[in-house]
Structure 1
Amino acid sequence: MSTRPLSVAVIGAGPAGIYAADILSKSDLEVQIDLFEQLPAPYGLVRYGVAPDHPRIKQIITALYRILQRGDITLLANVKIGEDLTVEDLQAHYDAIVVATGADRDAPLNIPGVELPQSYGAADFVYWYDGNPDYPRHWPLEAKSVAVLGVGNVALDVARVLAKHPEDMLVTEVPENVYRELEKNPVTDVHVFGRRGPAQVKFTPLELRELGEVPDVDVIVYEEDFDYDEGSQKAIKASNQTKMVVKTLTNYAMVPPEEHTASRRIHIHMFHSPAEILADENGNVRALKTERTQLDGNGGVTGTGEFVETEVQAVYRAIGYFSSPVKGLPFDEKRGVIPSVQGRVTDNEGEVVNGVYATGWIRRGPIGLIGSTKSDAAETISMLVEDANAGKLKATTDQVGHEAIVALLESRHVPYTTWQGWELLDAYERKLGEEFGEVPGGRGRRERVKVVSRKAMTAISRGEEIPADLIGSDGE
């Protein structure tokens, strides 16, 4: 009797999905893996969630590239699960499904004024400056003074992109339409607000230190924002990273005011809890109201009843990401995750959904860096392997695997793209960077210029002619 490889669909071609596919491909199982991605390009938030002036991200992309370049994991991009294909389609044609769709939207913030027109989610702004094809091409950069809520690396990215002079972004892969709008940005002051103190902020030391190296941008930290309780002291002693962050913040605070001579400033405010976004008589943002907080002895904070107003004309909420549900699968609306036990997806009653697994931020929420993603994927795949060895995994039809799903996509006229298509798009973007030539001011050369139209990305990836109305438009 002939046996066939186990056929597995992985949904999401970001780090979580790619690492899960890689670990599975190296298991003892004979396996065929299709990796689905809703965008025409792989890499998820590494390509579309991190500021373009982060050179170390290229190292992560290089590692992910090497995994996909091997050819034993098949990429099917520009395919939306829940629209182009349903979960039931995947269950029909695969023995197992691994969901790795990540966290793609902003966590909610329930304060008065959050609905004002100049109150923005950081995720939307990040998608704009990273050229995500499913988000608007234009961004209203009209504020001279801006508030950024949150003290993680996304908040730092948002603050830095807003404050940085656009010519210093030009050497990156920033899309053309983004660069042109940043040129008109009138900002002078960006205020970053955190609820707790220096020992509790979530910046990584390198990103915080590099903030002080941005040309013609001063980083201002206030002496009155330094306080440490027993919980803070324990945190500093327990973590070199926390110690380095505190030291960097202290160094910024020690710079005399007369040395702050740059034309743009990033202010970091600690012990400020957002209370309300205030509007002017026209219904536009005029200020952020915060409550001063104090440490409670355990590293947490309580309100003091003292309120401060900071004049701003826009507010960016960078308080964390939140996952979106996958149509046809259980979803915990409160936690923003697909419920699971050790990576095995469970239904609303807590029963395991056979053959369906979750990994990464869609499983555990938006916490942890690449190391956490790898260990998370390893646990999830170990459960899948265990179930496969126990004979629990089987597609619901006899038409199993890659060829069956490609036939289904073609019958539905879905313009899917492949790894070879990504290599075409990658080469096209690099050529745009090469044609740009040297960046003025001796800043170097552009490695690539991102294409930001889904139609253009798809056409290039499929070896088709770019639609005439897109040639010369933003990002093409």
Structure 2
Amino acid sequence: MNGAAFRVAVIGSGPSGAYAAQELSEQTDLDVSVDVYERLPVPFGLVRYGVAPDHQRIKSIVGLLADIFAHPRVRFLGNVQVGTDITVAELRQHYDAVVVACGASADRSLSIPGEDLPGVCSATDFVSWYSGHPDAAVDRFALTAEKAVVIGLGNVALDVARMLCRTPEELRRTDVPEHVVDVLANSSIREIVILGRRGPAYAKFSNKELGEFGELSDVRVQVDSGDLADDEDALRRAQENPLTRRMLATLRGYADSGPQGDRRTVRFAFSRTPVAFVGDDSVSGLEVVHQRPAKTAVEELIPAGFFVRSVGYRGLGVPGLPLDPRSGTIPHSEGRVVDGTEVLDGVYVTGWIKRGPSGVIGTNKQDAALTAAGILEDRKRATRPRQKTVVDPMDLLKERRVEFVEWPAWQRIDAAEEAEGRPVGRARVKLHERSRMLAAASAD
């Protein structure tokens, strides 16, 4: 750590953490240094392990984030678990400000019977597996069922369904590990149902993502025209919101298009409320209540052997800081962390752990700017500097034998992933085992 007059620790290296580091490190009238702590050996958070692998244009933002971490005022410290390897209390001793940007990495449950049956999983779990997350077991999924149901009407639900439809050739144009390509290529799934608890006018996915299903190779997309009945509420929402209007038009196009490909079928099912998963040793179906406008609700059983719930994310917080269990966010006042009625001096929050899982990647940039402005405002208003030690936390990590990863070590992991892809004719293949990442990081 250099002798900067103002030292900041950021917890989390996803977009929200990176943008916070950028806002602070680019101050021209203040001598600032920023240390970014990341529990994984690799940076970029949601961009690396949440954005769908087949969305390479969005993933290209990695280059912009890398420029932030390469800034001379910024230091990346990967493979460091805040709360275990170093505590928030210790960070507060060593830094003028601590910014929590750890995102929302846990899923929300449906809280219905049978949710723990084998064959039912969260989108968080499935996305982590196909994204090559080091915490996801290689053999986590076998995909031997013939029918899958994805519960949710957000972009992540569409990502999951789309990845289940991709051909091996398409998958090999991404960076997913080879074991993921093998499982998806040999999948027995032939039908994927995207099931929503509300009507189509309330879908949260974007029209762009919805339109991608029409571009899939040899895939039939089905929408029940009855689900698109123009009830008054749908018409009102469509008239008020042009985005909703375009999305409904795309769904109607699928409903009217007739047969397309036959390699796999994607079917949209709206206004169906999950009641219970059924099955003995593993899941075999889902009981739902189908509520259509101006008609009596009916009970249905949707048979399937694989279910993915995609009904939202929630934050897990950081040990030593408060967490609202209902919202999965850290309580704050304009970005300043609040514990009960006390504003914690020098502790701030940004990103999903601040506002919940909403917005796009760019939203985190705006949010980080607001939090950084609050940090700088507090510094100007302070009557005296916060008392902090002169110890470099990196020395503490060395004493504790933490195998932390700095930026040059991440670049070696990056190069190793490119090398991993060359023998199989791919631009890159992710290293998905932490041990291999750390071995690559320490290679000469």
User: Which interval holds the TM-score relative to the shorter structure?
Assistant: over 0.9
Distance 1:322 1:93 in 2: 29
Contact 2:51 2:59 in 1 (8 A): no
Judge conservation of contact 2:332–2:338 (CA < 8 Å) in 1.
yes
- Paired with 2:316 and 2:126, the residues of 1 have a C-alpha distance of 18
Is contact 2:4-2:33 (8 Å) kept?
no
Q: Is 1:178 aligned to residue 180 of structure 2?
A: yes
Computed over aligned residues only, the root mean square deviation of the Cα atoms, in angstroms, reads: 1.9
Contact preservation (8 Å) 2:218, 2:260:
no
Structure 2 Cα separation of the partners of residues 168 and 60 of structure 1: 21
Matches within 5 A, 1:213-252: 213-252=215-254
| Unaligned stretches of 5+ residues in structure 2 | none
Find the aligned partners of 1:9 and 1:105 in 2 and give their Cα distance.
Answer: 23
Contact 2:121 2:307 in 1 (8 A): yes
Deviations 1:29-62 (A, max 9, x none): 3211001111111110110012211112233212
1:133 is aligned to: 134
Higher mean alpha-carbon deviation, 232-241 vs 33-42, is at 232-241
After TM superposition, give the deviation of residue 140 of structure 1 in Å. 2.9
SS at match of 1:307: strand
Q: Judge conservation of contact 1:355–1:393 (CA < 8 Å) in 2.
A: no
Q: Number of matched residues?
A: 440
1:199 aligned counterpart, secondary structure? helix
Q: Distance in 1 between matches of 2:71 and 2:62?
A: 14
Comparing 39-48 with 365-374, which one deviates more in the overlay?
365-374
Deviation at residue 393 of structure 1 after TM alignment:
8.0
Question: 2:56 is paired with a residue of what secondary structure?
Answer: coil
1:392, CA displacement in angstroms? 6.6
1:412 is matched with 400
What is the rounded CA distance, in whole Å, between the counterparts of 1:392 and 1:339 in structure 2?
A: 26
**C-alpha distance in 2 between matches for 1:176 and 1:409:** 34
Does the aligned pair in 1 maintain the 2:324–2:330 contact within 8 Å? Answer: yes
Question: Structure 2: how far apart are the matches of 1:159 and 1:52?
Answer: 13
**Equivalent of 1:330 in 313, 316, 322:** 322
What does residue range 390-401 of structure 1 map to in structure 2 within 5 Å? Answer: 390-391=381-382, 396-399=387-390
Task: Map residues 11-410 of structure 1 onto 2, 5 A cutoff.
Answer: 11-27=11-27, 28-138=29-139, 139-256=141-258, 259-279=259-279, 282-294=280-292, 304-347=296-339, 349-391=340-382, 396-399=387-390, 404-410=392-398
Q: Is the 8 A contact 2:96 2:388 kept in 1?
A: no
Deviation at 1:394, TM superposition (A): 5.0
Structure 1 pair 131/110, CA: closer, same or farther in 2 (3 Å)?
same
Give the SS at the match of 2:9. Answer: strand
Q: Does the 8 A contact of 1:96 with 1:394 survive in 2?
A: no
Is the Cα contact below 8 Å between 2:227 and 2:292 reproduced in 1?
no
Is this contact kept in 1: 2:148–2:193, CA < 8 A? yes
The TM-score with structure 1 as length reference comes to 0.88
Confirm or deny: 8 A CA contact 1:149 1:193 kept in the other structure. Answer: yes
CA distance in 1, matches of 2:330, 2:443: 37
Residue matched to 2:440: 460
Judge conservation of contact 2:217–2:261 (CA < 8 Å) in 1.
Answer: no
Q: What one-letter code is carried by the residue in structure 1 that aligns with 2:190?
A: T
Please give the alpha-carbon distance, in whole angstroms, between the structure 1 residues aligned to 2:112 and 2:270: 19
User: Within 2, Cα distance between the matches of 1:47 and 1:306?
Assistant: 42
% of aligned pairs identical?
41
Query: One-letter code of the match for 1:412?
Result: R
Q: Deviation of residue 447 (structure 1)?
A: 1.8
State the Cα distance separating 1:294 from its structure 2 match. 4.2
How big is the shift at 1:71?
A: 3.0
Q: Which moved more, 1:54-63 or 1:227-236?
A: 227-236
Quick one: distance in 2 between partners of 1:343 and 1:392?
A: 21
Shift in Å, 1:17: 0.3
> Do the aligned partners of 1:91 and 1:396 also contact (CA within 8 Å) in 2?
no
Deviation of 1:86 after TM superposition, in Å, equals: 0.8
**8 Å contact from structure 1 (residues 433, 447) kept in 2:** yes
How has the CA–CA distance of structure 1 residues 39 and 32 changed in structure 2, closer, same or farther, with 3 Å as cutoff? same
1:364-395 residue CA offsets vs partner (Å, 9 max, x unmatched): 11111123211211111111111111127855
- Contact 2:168–2:185 (CA<8 Å) still a contact in 1? yes
Which one-letter code corresponds to 1:410 in the other structure? K
Q: What is the Cα deviation at residue 234 of structure 1? A: 4.0
Q: Would you say the 8 A contact 1:51–1:157 is kept in 2?
A: yes
